[in-house]
A and B are shown apart, each in its own frame.
Chain A
Amino acid sequence: MSRLNVDEDRRSFVKTSLVSGLAVVSGVSLVQISNAKDPGESVSASKRWGMLIDTTKCASGCDACVTACNVEHGLEAIENREETDAQWIRKVHLKNKLTDAEHDLPMMCQHCENPPCVDVCPTGASFKRDDGIVLVDKHTCIGCRYCMMACPYKARSFIHEALTNQKPDVPRGKGTVESCTLCVHRVDKDGEKAIPACAEACDKEGHKAIVFGDLKDKNSVLSQLLSEQSSTQIRADLGLNTGIRYRGI
């Protein structure tokens, strides 16, 4: 084929640019697909996990979210002694005295951006992870319960007695304080596809009142819902910038 006047330089240039262009495109698309966090990777502040709870969809008398949370985390209940039971999520019934409007909503740790529990913790056990989830490091917690006093939402519970048969994903022990973790064991495994136990149960019941997602990702379902209609924080006057937003109250 030496009769053909082939420009070898031009041919190699075209080949190289095609191949490198293909590599770049496939690399970019691969990065977008794998969004679940690699286990060896630290969480980063590029994500902030939150939830939107639509109180108009929350059914009165339904406590599927509470039951699901208790089952997922192995929270034990004692008969006739509800005052000391661990409570990570609870149903709250609100009634406006002026208008008689009534709402039901689930209340759990609001995963504030400026958490009062973190401010007051004397040991640093109560902390906010880079991705916005507020947790208690039980290794450091001394059980002083200052965070329980500081929380405006009464989100935290204290464990009074020694436990056995904890769930392997949810270590819980006597003398420490605990609260909703936004199902951090699921979040770390599944990333954006994760769904907390309460949201999963609400979906299963058909109400679909709880939506979980990444507040910093403009393309997530959660962000889109938040941008379409207004939502409120409970006790917004405290300036905590909660990660859990409510609609309809």
Chain B
Amino acid sequence: MRFIALLVFWVLLNIQNVGAEKSAPKSTRVPQPILKHETWKGTQCVASEEDIRKNHMDFLLHQRDDTVHEGIRTKKYSLKNCINCHVTTKGKDGAPIPITSREHFCNTCHAYVGVTLDCFQCHATHPDSGQVKTKIIDKITPIIEKHENQAFHSKVKNGGKDE
């Protein structure tokens, strides 16, 4: 009896969904990264997938100091070179894919893991096509006080006297 109970217990313990990795439904709460390997240039990245996935921020942060301060422009860990290889496709209307889209190479993973990307506040998000112009995206309306300056200038012209 005890043996049968133990046997049943052991069987229950070892029931596994053997096809788990392949057939488990993907989480629908967080959109999975869209990685289109076929659109990237070349056959492999500058480092192995694990290495680059874990350390790309350190490579880039180190490289940027070298580039800005020393003028060292090697291509291996250059951000511009990452973009040149990985951001090769355009959006539906022929315009470059914006960084806010989940289809942009960098944003697709960064949105998934929830890590802020601030590189592209300054850096170009796509290789230069020469067609698209730099654009302001949150235009403000500064209040420029013109009449104050004019009053001062007229005072100076009159030799310090108010007119």
Contact = CB atoms under 8 A, between A and B. Distances in A.
B74 interface: yes
Contacts of B45: none
Interface stretch (B25-33, B50-58, B133-141, B152-160): B133-141
Chain B's interface: helix, strand, loop or mixed, by majority? loop
B113 interface: no
Contacts of B96: 165
Contact of B68 (A137, A164, A174): A137
Interface in A61-84: 74-76, 78, 81, 83-84
B147 interface: no
A22 B82 CA distance: 43
Contacts of B135: 76, 163-165
B124 A162 contact: no
Contacts of B91: none
Which of A127, A164, A167, A184 has most B Cβ within 10 Å? A164
Interface string B103-145: 0000000000000000001111101100011111111101010
Interface of B: 64-65, 68-75, 80, 83, 96, 98-99, 121-125, 127-128, 132-140, 142, 144
Interface of A: 37, 39-43, 74-76, 78, 81, 83-84, 127, 129-131, 135, 137-139, 160-169, 171-174, 176, 184, 188-189
